[in-house]
Structure formats: C-alpha cells, structure tokens
Amino acid sequence: MDKATNKKLFFILLFGLIFSMYQETEAQRTRTKPMPTPAISKTVPSNINFTVSMPKPWTHLLQVEMRVASAQTPAQLELKMPVWTPGSYLIREYARHVQNFSVADAGGNALEWRKINKNTWQIDTKGAKEIVAKYDVYANELTVRTNELNDEHAFFTPAALLMFPKGEISTPSTVKVNPYGNWKVATGLPPVAGQTNTFRAENFDILYDSPFEVSDFKEIRFTAMGKPHRYVVTGEGNYDLELMAKDTEKIIIESSKIFGDLPYNDYLLIVNTRGGGGLEHLNSTALQWNRFGFKPEARYKAFLNLVAHEFFHAWNVKRIRPDVLGPFDYENENYTNLLWVAEGTTSYYEPILLLRAGLITDREFLDSKAALFQQLQDRPGRFETSLEEASFDAWIKYYRQDENAINNQISYYDKGDIVSFMLDVEIRTASDGAKSLDDVMRHLYDEFSKKGRNFTPEDFQKVSELMAGKSLEEFFDKYVRGTEEIDYNSILKGIGLQLLTTRANTNEQPYLGANMTEADGRLTVRSLPAGSPAYESGLNTGDQIVAVDGFRAGQTFLQTYINEKKPGDKVKFSVFRFDQLREMEVTLGGRVSPNYRIAAVENPTDRQKQLYRAFLGNELK
Ligand SMILES: [Zn+2]
C-alpha cells in the first residue's frame, strides 16, 4: 500500500521534545463484518472503449471519452466512478473532480442524464445501441492514488479517472491514450496488437489495478527470473538507472525464492521524482521518491526498501488476498481485520529481502527493528487499539490522523511489522529451524491464492500454527487481537537475542512531554502523550507558546531551557489559546530515557547460534 507518505505522519507526530508515561485503558469491541455486494452481470456484456486525451496539459484536465455498446441496451444506463482505489484504504470521492459531463448516441444526438448519487450518472438511453459519454477530470494532485496532468507528464490512477457501467465490473474494456506532443505511454496492461497506445483490460479489477504514466520518461529494461521488467522514471534526479535495475533484480530473485515463481508475465515500475510513497498493483507499482533522494547510500537503501515493499505486495495482498480485498466493492469501504498482514508483514519483509540480497547487514536489520520497538513503546495508543482494530478502522483513522493519534492508535504497518518479526522468531524457535514465516506466506500462496481463495484471520493463525507445530492462540490473543505489552525478550531469546534498554545516564532527566512544531516563528503544541506532565497540567494541542518563564519561546530555546531544569521544577508557560493570552504552570516530571538496542544474549547455546545464522545469515555476535 501506500506507504511512506503516511508513515511520515507518524514520524512527524513522534518528533518533538520527550515522551512519556501513559494511562492504560482497555478497549474491547465487537463488530460485524459487512461483505461487499456482488456485482450483477448482464447476460450480454457491453463493449467498452475509453479514450483518454490531454490536449492542453497546462489546464490539468484529462479528457475521457467512454463508448458503451450493447446488443441489450437498458432503458437507463448508470455510469459509476469508484470512490476509492485498492491499496489506499480511504474514501477519496474521485467523482468530485469530474466536470463537463455530456452524453450522446453514436449519431451525436444528446441524451438526457442526471446524477442520482455522489458517484452515479444515470442516462436515458432511448434504446441507443451505443452511447458516448464525455467528461473531463481535473488532475492536479500527484500521489500514487490520484491523477496529475501538467506540462511535465500525465500520471493517472484508472479508478480515479474511468467510470464503470453498473453491474459490469467483469466486462473487458480497452483504453486508448492520446499523449501530448512526443510523450510515451507506460502501463502494466497488455497492448492491443496493431493499435497505437491502446491497451486491453480483461475486467475492471485489472483496469483499476493498472496505473498509467505518460511523459518523455527515461527507461531501463531488464530481465529477472527470465521475465521482462522495466523502470520508467519521470523527472530529473540523482538516480542511476543501471544500479536501480541491478539491485531491483536481486530483490525480485529473493522474493521469488520465497514463493517459488513470479506471478506475472511482465512488470513495470513507474517512478515520479517528487514526493514519496508507493502503491502496489498486479504487475506494476507506482512510486514517488524525492529527486535527490537516490544518494547518499542510506537514502538509496530507503528507496530500495520501498521497492521491496511494493514488490512483496505482488504476492501479499495482490494475490494472497485477505477476505474482502478482491473482488472489490468500489463504492464503499471494504472492511478487513487483516491489513496488519497485508501491510505490516509486507513492511517486515522489506529489510529481510534486502538482507538476503546482500544489500544490508544483519546489524542494520536489528538496529532498524530496535528503533521500531522504541517507537511503539513511546505510543500510549498501543494499549488502546489492537492490530485487528487498527486494520478494521483504517478507513476512518489511519489516513486521518489527528493530534490524539499517538494516544489512541497504533500503526498497523509498524506494529504489524514488529508482530510479524516476533511471529517469525516464534515459528523458527518452535519448529527448531525447520519452518519460518516464509513457509506461512508460501502456504497462503499455494493453498489459497492459487486455488482462488481469499484467507481469513482464522486461516492466518491456523497456517502459522501449522508451521510452528504448536498452538499460537496466546500469541494472537495478546498481540494481534489484544493490546498486551509485547514480551520481546521471551521471544527473541529463541534465536539468541535480547532487547537492551540501556541508559546512558541513570539520573532522571526533566521531562515536559509535549511534541511541538515550529513554523513561521510560531511554536505550537502538536500532540501530547496522555499522562505526561504537560498533558496533566492542561496544555492543549494547538496552544501557541509565546514565552516560558517570561522568555520568548522557540523550539531550541525551550529544549535547552527545560534540560537545564530539574524534575519537580515549575515552569510558567504563556500561551495563546483561541487568540487569548493565558498563563499556565507545568511541574516538570522526571524520566530516564532508554536507548533500545538488540544484542546477543550472554553465552548463547549452539542451537541459538544455529537459528540465528539460518535466519540472519551471519554469526551471532
Ligand atoms: Zn504496502
């Protein structure tokens, strides 16, 4: 899914002064899981052809012509725009960008139409065998799940551009693109022989899973596991296409070793060198990466992490599908408790693939995991929301994080990554190295995906238990369905590791517990971890801090000033709240902030050493 952009929000929320204590609360919720309504097929499918044009890129208007021909024309034809696109679990209301809608029969006679809800255009066909609908879509937002047209390129997400006739999700269609000037067209859809820039989709699920990039892009083609792959990159930047192709091939090889094959005929990686993030598709991915973010090495490795993430999705979520995630309901939320597997497990495999490909070391892997543990342990929200709840509520929470997210939410990416790591270690330990999480993924691919079945949360637990050779009921109860503190050390010791929360200084440091943001010379409270001194003293998110003990407040000053105080000292804050000046006193707390590190246990046994080596490819040290 759609990754880095949202992860970034979490990091912003975490950035600030110091973090804190928390108040434990239990949230137990029950719910029913609505299933998407199946599409009703007509007996005779229509013949559907789209033409997408962009004659004036500077207007940001993509022009769509949609021809629907049918031997059995209904009296009223309903054309629908999806409200979301798979992989990004938020209702985005793509219909709001549609304008200049008109419709006629093949002879050019205008037909009457009306909107009957937010995303449906109802047309009186008057028996016409072919109707021609035309509309423009305003495209001026570059993300991996929206559209952008400007004088550099067109990127479009078909679910955000192309309508489907009601009940015809299974009908094939073609898309002809009229590029601007000398631009080229790239998409994962197969071309129609003999027709320029025309592509065919077997059904709307495939159409909506195939983004388009149209520009004067740079490209490199390469072969991996005998199949054609290519990068197309729009925008200047400090990237090295040869190196990207070489390293991506290594990632592809390592992924295919887990699953046994490559599940497509060819694969396209679209890169735009602005912003950040990625979205997985059936045989392609759309990526965004800052144009100067391909160097130095650490930032390039972060890019490869993103590539590995989206690539692993070619199996996990695109083919190994959680219950309701495909075929999709494009008009409503599609609820699942399994996004933590779809996204968290995929995130877990990013560095695993890089490690196996020789692109990072076991130490880099363990350091990244220690940082992730620390991030989770600094979120009071971990006692509020379980992985399953976070998955289910993605539609109303994950993409809409506010200042309280740190206190009532966790990320199903980050905690899902951690719990996947813990599960992998559990399986390796319990099976004495015979099985691992790879076997779980492989089994889901062979026994579910290849047999046309989606998997449920119960299936995932059962397959994990099959590989572990023991019940994992307690593990799933505590860490997947529940909100218990993760007992890292009891799990990690299986492979000879321990989590050390070392303290550079055992003296308590003065602690305020408010995350600040500074912009245009204004210092503002961004979030407050529940239970922190600032939280308990009545500071609010949104308060603008004007002065501290009478001194003008800036981020750096405040940090230095607090650090020079002692726990128990009182500090007077002058703040603007709703344009009114107020004074508040905060009694500073005290805290020892630990530094998380994963290290070898003392005197590891041969078995621990062996399991570590089999897992991370190096000697335990
Ligand atoms: Zn993802």
Q: DSSP string of 356-398? A: HTTSS-HHHHHHHHHHHHHHHHT-GGGGT--HHHHHHGGGTTG
The candidate with the shortest Cα–Cα distance to 379, out of 21, 6, 4, is: 21
The CA 309 to ligand 1 mean position distance, Å, reads 6
Residue 591 has a pLDDT of 85
Return the DSSP state at 341.
Answer: I
Given a cut of 90, whether residue 33 has pLDDT beyond it is no
Return the DSSP state at 282.
Answer: S
The CA 339 to ligand 1 mean position distance, Å, reads 9
Paired strand residues for 199: 175, 191
Report angle CA 85, 90, 92 to the nearest 5 degrees.
Answer: 70
The CA 311 to ligand 1 mean position distance, Å, reads 9
Q: Measure the CA–CA gap between 435 and 39, rounded to whole angstroms.
A: 40
Paired strand residues for 322: 455
Given a cut of 60, whether residue 12 has pLDDT beyond it is no
The structure tokens 């000697």 sit at 619
Residue 93 has a pLDDT of 97
The torsion defined by the Cα of 503, 508, 511 and 517, in degrees rounded to 10, comes to -30
| 423 compared with 15, residue with greater pLDDT | 423
The CA 236 to ligand 1 mean position distance, Å, reads 26
The CA 306 to ligand 1 mean position distance, Å, reads 9
The CA 429 to ligand 1 mean position distance, Å, reads 28
Q: What is the mean pLDDT of residues 466-495?
A: 98
Which residues 6+ apart lie within 8 Å of 535 measured at CB?
20, 513, 514, 528, 529
Side chain identity, residue 610: Q
The candidate with the shortest Cα–Cα distance to 438, out of 464, 418, 414, 459, is: 464
Q: Measure the CA–CA gap between 24 and 41, rounded to whole angstroms.
A: 51
Are 91 and 333 spatial neighbours (Cβ–Cβ below 8 Å)? Answer: yes
Q: What is the mean pLDDT of residues 19-41?
A: 38
Give residue 2's pLDDT band: very low, low, confident or very high (50, 70, 90): low
The candidate with the shortest Cα–Cα distance to 385, out of 403, 407, 408, 401, is: 408
Give residue-wise pLDDT tens across range 19-29. 333 332 333 33
The CA 468 to ligand 1 mean position distance, Å, reads 26
The CA 105 to ligand 1 mean position distance, Å, reads 42
Q: Measure the CA–CA gap between 158 and 389, rounded to whole angstroms.
A: 30
The CA 279 to ligand 1 mean position distance, Å, reads 7
The CA 376 to ligand 1 mean position distance, Å, reads 19
The CA 237 to ligand 1 mean position distance, Å, reads 24
The CA 289 to ligand 1 mean position distance, Å, reads 15
Give 352: exposed, middle or buried? Use CB within 10 Å, 0-12, 13-18, 19+: buried
The structure tokens 């759309």 sit at 286
Structure tokens at 17: 């002064």
The CA 290 to ligand 1 mean position distance, Å, reads 18
Q: Measure the CA–CA gap between 189 and 212, rounded to whole angstroms.
A: 9
Q: To the nearest whole number, what is the mean pLDDT of the chain?
A: 92
Are 16 and 515 spatial neighbours (Cβ–Cβ below 8 Å)? Answer: yes
Residues listed for the chain: 621
Give residue-wise pLDDT tens across range 221-270. 999 999 999 999 999 999 999 999 999 999 999 999 999 999 999 999 99
The candidate with the shortest Cα–Cα distance to 210, out of 289, 165, 152, 268, is: 268
The structure tokens 């549609």 sit at 98
Range of weakest confidence among 36-45, 190-199, 339-348:
36-45
**Helix, strand, or coil (residue 606):** helix
The CA 345 to ligand 1 mean position distance, Å, reads 9
Task: Tally DSSP H helices, then E strands, for the chain.
Answer: 17, 29
Give residue-wise pLDDT tens across range 306-323. 999 999 999 999 999 999
Q: Measure the CA–CA gap between 317 and 262, rounded to whole angstroms.
A: 15
The CA 4 to ligand 1 mean position distance, Å, reads 9
The sign of the torsion formed by the CA atoms of 345, 412, 21, 542 equals positive
Residue 105 phi, psi dihedral angles, 5° rounding: -85, 180
The CA 430 to ligand 1 mean position distance, Å, reads 29
The CA 285 to ligand 1 mean position distance, Å, reads 11
Given a cut of 70, whether residue 408 has pLDDT beyond it is yes
The CA 349 to ligand 1 mean position distance, Å, reads 11
The CA 341 to ligand 1 mean position distance, Å, reads 10
The CA 447 to ligand 1 mean position distance, Å, reads 22
Give residue 9's pLDDT band: very low, low, confident or very high (50, 70, 90): very low
Residue 317 has a pLDDT of 97
Q: What is each CA distance from 575 to 531, 534, 536, 562, in whole angstroms?
A: 20, 13, 16, 16
The CA 242 to ligand 1 mean position distance, Å, reads 25
Give residue 593's pLDDT band: very low, low, confident or very high (50, 70, 90): confident
The CA 132 to ligand 1 mean position distance, Å, reads 37
Q: Measure the CA–CA gap between 146 and 544, rounded to whole angstroms.
A: 34
Q: What is each CA distance from 218 to 96, 237, 239, in whole angstroms?
A: 33, 11, 11
Residue 27 has a pLDDT of 32
The CA 561 to ligand 1 mean position distance, Å, reads 41
The CA 574 to ligand 1 mean position distance, Å, reads 43
The CA 389 to ligand 1 mean position distance, Å, reads 18
The torsion defined by the Cα of 17, 18, 24 and 26, in degrees rounded to 10, comes to 50
Structure tokens at 121: 């255009």
The CA 331 to ligand 1 mean position distance, Å, reads 21
The CA 609 to ligand 1 mean position distance, Å, reads 32
The CA 316 to ligand 1 mean position distance, Å, reads 9
Helices (H), 80-228: 204-207
The candidate with the shortest Cα–Cα distance to 390, out of 372, 416, 371, is: 416
